[in-house]
Amino acid sequence: MRDAFQSALLLSPEIKAAQYRIQSLTSRREAASSLTSQPLTVEGAYRTDSLHNDQGLRELTLGVSAPVWNWNEKSSTQTVRDAEIQEAQLQLEQTKLEIAGQVRQLVWDLQAAQVDVDIAKLRFASVSDLLASVNKRVNAGELAETDLMQARVLLSQAEAEQARAMGLLEQAKASYFAGVGLQASTVEKYLPENATISEGVKVADHPSLKLAQAQLVLNQSQKKLTATQSRPNPEIGLALISERAAFFSGQDKSLVLSTRIPLGSSSEYKSRVLEAQANETAANARLLNTQRNLGSRSRLAESELELFSRLRLAATAQANLSQKVYELHKKAFELGETDLATLIRLEQTAVEANRLNSKATIEYAAKVSAYRQAMGLLP
């Protein structure tokens, strides 16, 4: 199953884009460590009176302005960027777990379809042997023509079941190839995953819970950052001015230090604060829901695993007993000690018991995978 999981990861667009998304967030984190909140701005101006009275006025201004951080805004921004990187990394783990769940479902659906085909083929072969035996005895005068007709009807049913099972298997193969990217015909039968969970594995380590916690931390950090942004960033400017008042005048140079402090809008700031508060409240509610849901699903998966373990043992015992009864009556039929109707009924019972046994084995393996999925474990 690990190969199928790795192949599915290579097909996922989210997995392919995750690396670049994390690199983008890392670059934003580096930008939050700069001395200014935004890149520096270069300014330039030239003033002349040549198009008017042309007294020789010339003025050249070159300057630079730098947006500065609000109080505590820089540290709050860095905290938000760190939380964004952590959230993106945990989102990647959550995506991997979701893909693992899809792969597990595809694998056991494929195995269940293959089991149906195997059972249908075995039944068709068994009924073919029975038809040959009945036909031989009808020719010998030991059975009536109606017995032969019953055997032919049974063979037609087995053939139809085999065709139906093969059709469902092809559908399962197509779904498997679409989700995993591997040809199902080249995949061997999978063994169940290990049902034993290490003692150190807890629901608290589940990627979904860690992601919800990280999202809460991110929203809390964004709320603190919003509190520092009551107004746009102020700017500090430094400019050098070179001017000449008129012809034959000397060049005068001066240095200008300026500042710009936006006043901001109380209504707009209040709106952003309330929105940040709403996002934090929603993230906290999602965390509580995730904790409750994961605990419930893990307990349900564990109880289903125990139940299907008992069902598998019961189905195995029933299949073995039904097969023995059928074989005994088949020998009795060949000796003429029982009729065909009884043999057909017992054959159908044995086939159904064998099918349920095989299904129980697959379902148990699927429940093991579901239990590991509920605990947040990858294949």
Is residue 358's pLDDT more than 80?
Answer: yes
pLDDT classification of 332: cutoffs 50, 70, 90: confident
Query: How do residues 37-81 score in pLDDT, each as one tens digit?
Result: 888 889 988 888 777 787 778 888 999 999 999 999 899 999 999
Q: How far from 30 is each of 26, 82, 83, 152, 206, CA to CA, in Å? A: 6, 10, 14, 78, 30
Task: State residue 246's pLDDT score.
Answer: 72
pLDDT classification of 190: cutoffs 50, 70, 90: low
Q: What is the mean pLDDT of residues 105-126?
A: 86
d(CA 315, CA 307): 12
Bridge partners (DSSP) listed for residue 235: 67, 260
Assign 31 to helix, strand or coil.
helix
Q: What is the mean pLDDT of residues 83-95?
A: 93
Task: State residue 186's pLDDT score.
Answer: 46
303: which residues sit within 8 A by CB, 6+ positions away?
none
Q: List helix spans (H) across 32-144.
A: 73-139
Predicted TM-score of the model (pTM): 0.81
Range scoring the smallest mean pLDDT among 95-104, 114-123, 196-205: 196-205
